[in-house]
C-alpha cells in the first residue's frame, strides 16, 4: 500500500531559520510542528524531512555534526509524542561547496532528487502527499516530484506558484489536510 507522505523542509518549518542552525542551543521549534507531525503519524502518513544543507558544503559543520544534531531533533519530537520517519539532506552547493561538495547535483532543491529518492525507498503515493516549505525552491521541488499538495509557509500573497497554497502557520496546514481534526 502506498502511503501519503508529509514532506517537510527543515529550516523555517521545523526549526526557526536563524541561519545554518546545527546545535540545540540555536534551536527554536516552529509553533505547531510537533502537533502537525503527531497528527500525520496518527493518520498513517509517513513524515519525511528534505533539507538543503549548504552549511556542510561551505564547511560550517560536517556530516557527523549534522547527523548528531538531527538525532537530537528526533529525540525532541519523540518527547512530544511525534516521529520523523526519514531524513534526506543535500550537502552540496554549486558555487560555494568545498572539495567534493562543490557539485551541480540533482538533490539540491528546487531539484526534486531528495523527494524522488524517498519515493524510491518508501511506498509513497505522491499525489496524496503534501510538501510544506518556506521558500519557492521547496514548492518547485514538490511540484517537480508530483506531490499533490504544496503549502508555502509565510509565502508571498501574490501566488507566484499557482499550485501552492499560502499558509500563515502550521495549524493552517493541519486544518487544510485534515479538516475534521480541528476540534481534536
Ligand atoms: Mg526553509
Ligand atoms: Zn545535492
Q: Does the active-site annotation cover 11?
A: yes
What does DSSP say about strands 149-153 and 164-167: parallel, antiparallel, or unpaired? parallel
CATH assignment of the domain containing 97: 3.40.50.1000
Whether the CB-CB separation of 35 and 158 falls below 8 Å is answered with no
Q: What is the pLDDT of residues 43-73, one digit of tens each?
A: 999 999 999 999 999 999 999 999 999 999 9
Q: How far is the CA of 180 from the centre of ligand 1 (A)?
A: 28
Nearest partner of 138 among 163, 101, 158, judged by Cα: 163
Within a domain: 71: yes
pLDDT at 156: 82
Within a domain: 68: yes
Q: Mean pLDDT over all residues of the chain?
A: 95
Within a domain: 30: yes
Q: How far is the CA of 179 from the centre of ligand 2 (A)?
A: 35
Whether the CB-CB separation of 57 and 102 falls below 8 Å is answered with yes
Whether the CB-CB separation of 120 and 128 falls below 8 Å is answered with no
pTM, two decimals, is 0.96
Within a domain: 132: no
pLDDT at 181: 56
More confident residue, 155 or 77: 77
Within a domain: 61: yes
Q: What is the pLDDT of residues 116-166, one digit of tens each?
A: 999 999 999 999 999 999 999 999 999 999 999 999 999 887 667 889 999
Which 8-state DSSP code applies to residue 151? E
CB crowding 13-41: b at 16 or more within 10 Å, else e = bbbebeeebbeeeebeebeebbbbbbbbb
pLDDT at 29: 98
- Edge-first strand order for the sheet with 149-153 is 86-90, 46-52, 5-8, 130-133, 149-153, 164-167
Q: How far is the CA of 100 from the centre of ligand 1 (A)?
A: 24
Domain region containing 96: 1-7+16-126+145-157
Is residue 15 classed as helix, strand or coil in its secondary structure?
strand
pLDDT at 155: 84
SS3 of 38-52: the string is HHHHHCCCEEEEEEE
Q: How far is the CA of 144 from the centre of ligand 2 (A)?
A: 16
Does residue 183 surpass a pLDDT of 60? no
Within a domain: 35: yes
Ion ligand 1 neighbours (CB, 5 A) are: 9, 11-12, 134
Within a domain: 88: yes
Instruction: Give the percent of the chain with pLDDT over 70.
Output: 97
Q: Does the active-site annotation cover 9?
A: yes
pLDDT at 180: 75
More confident residue, 160 or 16: 16
Question: Structurally, how many domains does the chain consist of?
Answer: 1
C-alpha cell at 122: 518508501
In DSSP terms, 151 is beta-bridged to 132, 165
pLDDT at 73: 98
Within a domain: 47: yes
Whether the CB-CB separation of 54 and 96 falls below 8 Å is answered with yes
Q: How far is the CA of 5 from the centre of ligand 2 (A)?
A: 21
d(CA 89, CA 116): 12
The strand ranges marked E within 17-174 are 46-52, 86-90, 130-133, 149-153, 164-167
The bound ligand whose nearest atom lies closest to the alpha carbon of 13 is 1
The bound ligand whose nearest atom lies closest to the alpha carbon of 107 is 2
Amino acid at each position: 500500500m502506498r502511503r501519503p507522505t508529509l514532506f517537510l523542509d527543515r529550516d523555517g518549518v521545523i526549526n526557526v531559520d536563524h541561519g545554518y542552525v546545527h546545535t540545540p542551543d540555536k534551536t527554536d521549534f516552529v509553533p505547531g510542528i510537533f502537533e502537525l507531525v503527531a497528527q500525520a503519524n496518527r493518520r498513517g502518513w509517513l513524515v519525511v524531512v528534505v533539507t538543503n544543507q549548504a552549511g556542510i558544503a561551505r564547511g560550517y559543520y560536517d556530516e557527523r555534526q549534522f547527523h548528531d544534531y538531527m538525532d537530537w531533533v528526533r529525540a525532541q519530537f519523540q518527547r512530544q509524542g511525534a516521529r520523523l520517519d526519514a531524513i534526506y539532506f543535500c550537502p552540496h552547493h554549486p558555487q560555494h561547496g568545498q572539495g567534493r561538495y562543490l557539485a551541480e547535483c540533482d538533490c539540491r532543491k528546487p531539484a526534486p532528487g531528495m523527494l524522488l529518492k524517498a519515493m524510491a525507498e518508501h511506498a509513497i503515493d505522491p499525489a496524496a502527499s503534501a510538501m510544506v516549505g518556506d521558500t519557492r525552491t521547496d514548492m518547485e521541488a514538490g511540484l517537480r516530484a508530483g506531490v499533490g499538495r504544496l503549502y508555502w509557509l509565510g509565502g508571498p500573497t501574490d501566488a507566484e506558484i499557482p499550485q501552492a497554497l499560502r499558509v500563515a502557520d502550521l495549524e493552517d496546514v493541519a486544518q487544510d489536510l485534515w479538516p475534521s481534526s480541528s476540534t481534536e
